Amino acid sequence: MGETALVTDAEPAVIRVHGLRKSYRKRLAVDGVDLVVQRGEIFGLIGPDGAGKSSLMKTIAGVLSFDAGDLEVFGVRLDSEAAAERIKHRLGFMPQGLGLNLYPELSVEENVDFFARLRLVADQELGERKTKLLAMTRLDKFRDRPMKQLSGGMKQKLGLVCTLIHEPALIVLDEPTTGVDPVSRRDFWMILSELVAEKGITALVSTAYMDEASRFHRMAMLHGGNVLATGTPESIRALAPGSQVLVEAEQPLAALACLRSTFPQVEMKGAYFSIFVDEAEAGRAKNLVQAALSDLKYNVLEVDAPELEDAFIALLRRRGLVSAVSEAPAPASSQQAAPTPQPGGETAIEARALTRDFGAFRAVDKVSFGVSPGEIFGLLGANGAGKTTVIKMLTGILVPSAGSGQVAGGDVRTGGVAIKARIGYMSQAFSLYLDLSVLENIRLYAGIYGLSAKEARSRIDWVIEMAGLGGHETERPADLSMGMRQRLALGCALVHRPQVLFLDEPTSGVDPVGRRRFWDILFRLAREENVAILVTTHYMSEAEHCDRLALMYAGRIVADAPPATLKHEVENEAGRLLELTVADAARALALLRGAGYSGAYLHGDRVRLLSRDPEGDSERIHTLLEAAGGGLPAASMHTRSLSMEDVFVYQVTALERAAQGAPT
């Protein structure tokens, strides 16, 4: 079949999809999708697990056939393998999954060189691009390391470099930043935005990080293989009007019960609650929340427009596509007593100058912190900062080179067997047996932890209920959605009712609905069963859920405080976050950097920077843009609250500059 054009526009779309359908046996993955992506835009795909994002992206990339409909890329109808071959030199595709497009035995540099030769990149261009991309992803110091020895996040970053090395006209990236630390994610978005602005590259990107969705020029929201809505992030947010109310309550469990009896969308974030109030402006939303809390003592922290993730979940809920996120069952069964607190009841996890060397390399350098029973403690850091190594020492998997620690009353050096019986550990790989069914996985872990037959039956029933796996007992983990697999793995880690729970990036790649249900369970475990929880995560919105956060850099703890304190410290030191809305964001960014605002960066179609003098900088920037002309004077500027991503990026980049001897 020959190639034919579907459109005759003067400026044809880079991607045009009409009525696309794709099935896997009896399962319909993509159901009549219509989509148009224009040249030079970053177009996003968002949606829960199983929405059809990956299948749609694979068909557009020409690596997956489809059953019905029309698909055109670069004006070529992709109706045969020959047609797909005609466009592949203009396209870059990065599939979902760590390192799936890489070669394990080749080094970082050898992988990059291989893909460059495959794409016929000239030697001079290769040198310049390789230097820029490896520096951006912080892989320049690991050029000689084999891919198989990289961390998960480093593999993902190398995959990005190999996809971008030939500067394709269209980049199709399926969750490219999953497992990548916030600094590298921001760097990735910066270079992608610059490529789009400078060279007219088009990007089709899916993401599980809803905070990234605000960077898209336009986006499509998918569910069940259908497109529910298409538009700018602002227009998608407007489809679910309402207000977000932040409340801190003295009796959190009682407040949670009151709030959830009135509002279907309540999220726990450390010491406070975030309540989405449907169809209500700020004043009315505040009054409704106050009425629901009645006589309970509380403090309303803030009333504001909802974030994109809140609006996304509200829209799914209003259309009956997900149940209220607040419906996850409590961890504790009415027939079970709370676990007996450990002796002393003061510290469930204690690290004292923990150190771990691998030959001449020091991965963890004198790390000290403590976690109390019932506390959710977050351990943050860039890829390779030492987070996983700390967890492995505390769980007895690795022996410390120096220092000491205690977990659930056992010494990390000598009490390995006792510690393992009192803790739950969920690794990045979920630790599930893929050839066993859901029920068989839970039974196996119950046996490993020595539960009696009666205890096992009770706990298996609890895990099935907690994880929402009713009706899936005989299925294998590979057949479950990412969110279900995650909750199954958590259930296996909790089957013996541990005192301490270690979670190493447990929600990587899980959609926002699944993540909220997961954190609902963690909150109840901490508050109702007094479980101490240590979690690592790259989702900075998740960091808000923690009672306290420790930031690791180069194997050391460099900050340890509640999220609100960390934000306050950065605002005092670096200033407020200033956001600029302007017709030509790329040109405005270049002007600002040229005028000395070196920390400015693109955030979708807006420019952001930290300012110690927001009013003065607003006037200076307005004058600068007025003088430039060409549509830039129409800019608007306002301050925004710092996010944990802003805090993380500021702290880590400041430390990197200090380590290099540059002024901070």
Could you tell me if residue 220 is inside a domain? yes
For residue 118, give its domain range.
Answer: 15-231
Same domain flag for 146 and 226: yes
pLDDT at residue 546 tops 70: yes
Does 291 lie in the same domain as 172?
no
Inside any domain, residue 311: no
| pLDDT tens, position by position, 303-333 | 888 888 888 889 888 888 876 554 444 444 3
Q: Are residues 250 and 278 in the same domain?
A: yes
CA distance 321 to 604: 28
Q: Of 561, 589, 607, which residue is a domain's last?
A: 561
pLDDT, tens only, 250-285? 888 889 889 999 999 998 887 789 999 999 999 999
Contact between 330 and 308 (Cβ < 8 Å)? no
Residue 443, token pair as written in the block? 């039974």
Q: Are residues 218 and 284 in the same domain?
A: no
* Same domain, residue pair 172 and 214: yes
% of residues, the chain, pLDDT over 70? 92
Task: Judge whether 339 lies within some domain.
Answer: no
Q: The domain spanning residue 577 has which CATH number?
A: 3.30.70
pLDDT in tens, 188-212: 888 788 778 778 899 999 987 777 8
Same domain, 414 and 502: yes
Half-sphere exposure of 633 (CA within 13 A, CB side): 6
- Residue 51 sits in a domain whose CATH number is 3.40.50.300
Residue 98 placed within a domain: yes
- Place 166 in a pLDDT band, splitting at 50, 70 and 90: very high
Q: Would you say residue 155 lies in a domain?
A: yes
Chosen domain end from 305, 333, 359: 305
Residue 462: helix, strand or coil by DSSP? helix
Single out the residue of 522, 513, 524, 525 nearest to residue 543, CA to CA: 522
Buried b (16+ CB within 10 A) or exposed e, 230-258: beebeebbebbebbbbbbbbeebeebbeb
369-386 pLDDT per residue, tens: 999 999 999 998 877 788
Span 424-474, pLDDT tens digits? 998 866 578 888 999 999 999 999 999 999 999 999 999 998 888 899 999
CA distances to 150, 487, 490, 523 from 494, in Å: 30, 10, 6, 14
Confidence check: pLDDT of 552 > 60: yes
Residue 1 falls within a domain, yes or no?
Answer: no
Q: Do 526 and 590 sit in the same domain of this protein? A: no
In a shared domain, residues 385 and 272 = no
Nearest to 74 by CA among 58, 85, 90, 97: 90
**Any domain includes 465:** yes
My answer on whether 635 and 545 are in the same domain is no
Residue 282 dihedral angles phi and psi, to the nearest 5°:
-55, -50
The 10s digit of each residue's pLDDT in 597-636 is 988 887 767 889 999 999 999 999 988 888 887 666 667 8
Of 531 and 6, the structure prediction assigns the larger pLDDT to 531
Report which secondary-structure segment, H or E, holds 522: helix 512-529
Q: Is residue 319 part of a domain?
A: no
Q: What is the pTM of this model?
A: 0.80
C-beta of residue 429 within 8 angstroms of C-beta of residue 388: no
Q: Are residues 87 and 215 in the same domain?
A: yes
- The residue whose two tokens read 């009333």 is 303
Which residue in this structure is represented by tokens 């497009």? Answer: 101
- Report the pLDDT value the prediction gives residue 336, as an integer from 0 to 100: 39
Q: How many domains does the chain have?
A: 4
387-419 pLDDT, tens digit per residue, is 989 999 999 889 999 999 999 999 999 887 888
**Contact between 389 and 343 (Cβ < 8 Å):** no
Please, are residues 53 and 206 in contact by the beta-carbon 8 Å criterion? yes
Instruction: Give me the pLDDT at residue 327, please.
Output: 46
The conformational region for residue 473 under phi > 0 = left, psi -120 to 50 = alpha, else beta, is alpha
Of 561, 587, 615, the position where a domain reaches its end is: 561
Beta bridge partners of 378: 535, 549
Do residues 223 and 105 share a domain? Answer: yes
- Residue 572 sits in the same domain as residue 527: no
